[in-house]
Each structure stands twice: as structure tokens, then as C-alpha cells.
Amino acid sequence: MRKALLIRFLICIAVGILIAIPLSELGFSMEGNNASRPPKSIVLDIPPGTSAKVAAGTSVLPQDLTFVLGDTLVVNNQDSVAHTLGPLFIPPGSSASMNLNHIGNLSYVCSFQPTKYQGLNVQDALTLATRFEGIFIAGFPLGILFALYSLILRPLKKSTANLSVS
């Protein structure tokens, strides 16, 4: 009986993990980011006329940007007015950069957005270990639930070999 219970449990865990594989990969693909790449230098160009458009309430650049831990953000100011992004001061015709070495959703004071802030989302790089972790975190509990439900729907039969008649 114990052997049958162990076999059922292992089969249910395997089924849970097999179901979690496509679900986990679908989740990673739906995030829509490029976190599976190594860190690199990313250039953000502030186009000419940005200050006039911002004064009119028009956004020229994306409000929130996603980066990988270790990326370097380089801001090129092609506008005729100096701009700021958090600790960066970028005079007209120049550039400044910052290393993104902390994971999290950052919000910086920003002069080239009508809202006066720029969101930076810094994520850890997506690795094979991260993918396996997602599959295990979803698949193992799912397998345990399958095992418990299987015991409710189809209980194990007691062996009659160990019963003695008096």
C-alpha cells in the first residue's frame, strides 16, 4: 500500500511539473521584456523640441522603461534645453550615463516628461535557473494537489493479505 501511494504521489508530481512547464514559459513570454539578454549599454535620445512638447503636455519618450541589472543607461540630449533625469544633468548637445545596479521599480524626477517623473524598472537577468525555479514553484504544489485530489476521488484499497480471521 505504501508503494502504491508513493508511485501515485510521484506520478502526480510529474504531471504537475509537466503542466507547469508550458504555463511558466507562457508567463515569461507574456512579460514582453528582454530580460533574457546580458547587460548592455542602452541609449535614450532626447529629440530636438522635447522641452516645447513637454510644456504643451505631450510625452515624447516612453513613461516607463525596463532594464536588466547591470545595464548602463546613456541619455543623449539633442534638445536645445538642459534636462535632468534623477542624478543626471544633461546640458544641450551632451550626454550622461548611469549604471543600473539595483533591482526594483525606480522613479526619478525627470524634466523630459510632462508628469515630471521617469519610471525605470530594473530586473534581474532571466537565466535557465530562473526558468527552472518558476517551473518548480508552480509544478510541485500543483502535483501535491493532484495527489491529494486523487486520494479523495479514488482512495487506495486496503490489502486483504494482512488481515487475519479469528
Measured in degrees and rounded to the nearest 5, phi and psi for residue 17 equal -70, -40
Task: Tell me the chain's radius of gyration from C-alpha atoms.
Answer: 27
What residues contact 2, with CB distance under 8 A and at least 6 apart?
none
Residue type, 36: S
41-123 placed in CATH 3.40.1280.10: no
Q: Domain spans of the chain?
A: 2-31+128-153, 41-123
Instruction: Please give the pLDDT value at position 29.
Output: 73
Instruction: Please give the pLDDT value at position 127.
Output: 77
* Parts of the chain with a pLDDT under 50: none
Enter the DSSP assignment of 1: -
Q: Which residue has the cell 532571466?
A: 126
Longest CA–CA span in the chain (Å) reads 101
Cα(55)–Cα(112) distance, integer angstroms: 9
The closest alpha carbon to 103, from 130, 84, 125, 75, belongs to 125
The strand pair at 88-90 and 83-85 is best described as antiparallel
Residue 163, Cα to own-chain centre: how many angstroms?
Answer: 56
pLDDT digits (tens, 9 = 90+) for 54-102: 999 888 888 778 888 899 999 999 999 999 999 999 999 999 999 999 9
Q: Which residues of 3-28 are buried (b: 16+ CB within 10 A; e: fewer)?
A: eeeeebbeebbebbbebbeeebeeeb
Enter the DSSP assignment of 110: B
